Structure 1
Amino acid sequence: MKVTIKDFDDIAVVEVEGNIDSKTAPEFERSTKLATDKSNTIAIDLTAVEFMSSAGLRVLLMLYRNVKAKNGKVVLVGVSEEIQDVMSMTGFINFFKIVEKQDEALSFLKQD
């Protein structure tokens, strides 16, 4: 798994490539923590993620809680249909705004 953090004004964009499972979830968690230390407005780009285990879902839930505690926003980008199905079954999907492209996420996050 590869994680890249980019800054766009006051928005942190975390781009993830590869699967998020029990082996890679700690790195994903560290990256999302770095992003939330920089900003309380976060976009997580999962376009290049085909599989996410429950460990990855746990990281997303923790991210959501941390950002919401700071009155921030989280948007997920490019979430595959399979991951959306799992998120739907667990109820996690209700916590997140999901968009197809990064520019949509940036537009949404810039709104007040």
Structure 2
Amino acid sequence: MEISFSEQDGVTVAALSGRLDSATSGEAQQALASGLDGCGRLLLDLEKVAYVSSAGLRVFLMLAKQSRAAGGRLALCSLAPEVKEVFDISGFTALFMLLPDRVSGLNALSD
């Protein structure tokens, strides 16, 4: 799992690449939590994420809780169909702002 951070229009963008599973979730959670510190708006770009396990879903859930506690906003964008299906089956679709692409995500968090 690789994660790169950038800043666009006042939104911190974390671009994830690879698999988010039990082998990578701990490191990913630490990196994303530190990326969330000090930023009010975080967009997770999942375009290059090929797989998300239940351990990966936990990472997103913990980030959402951390973001809400800090008064921030979190959105996810560019989910591959396989990853979107995991969110649908698990019921996580209702818990997150899911957007089709990075531009939509930036627009949603800029409001």
What's the TM-score, normalizing by structure 2?
Answer: 0.92
Partner in structure 2 of residue 4 of structure 1: 4
* 2:92 paired with 1:92: yes
Q: Tell me the secondary structure at the aligned position of residue 49 of structure 1.
A: strand
Deviation, 1:10, is: 3.1
**49-58 vs 2-11, greater mean Cα deviation:** 2-11
Conservation of the 8 A alpha-carbon contact between 1:76 and 1:97? yes
Q: Tell me the secondary structure at the aligned position of residue 38 of structure 1.
A: coil
Q: What residue ranges of structure 1 are gaps of 5+ in the alignment? A: none
After superposing on structure 2, the runs of 4+ consecutive aligned residues of structure 1 that deviate more than 2 Å are none
Q: What residue ranges of structure 2 are gaps of 5+ in the alignment? A: none
Partner in structure 2 of residue 61 of structure 1: 61
Conservation of the 8 A alpha-carbon contact between 1:11 and 1:43? yes
What's the TM-score, normalizing by structure 1?
Answer: 0.91
Partner in structure 2 of residue 22 of structure 1: 22
Conservation of the 8 A alpha-carbon contact between 1:5 and 1:31? no
Aligned-residue identity in percent: 29
Conservation of the 8 A alpha-carbon contact between 2:76 and 2:98? yes
Higher strand share: 2
Deviation, 1:64, is: 0.6
Q: Distance in 2 between matches of 1:65 and 1:77?
A: 18
Q: Distance in 2 between matches of 1:58 and 1:102?
A: 22
Deviation, 1:39, is: 0.7
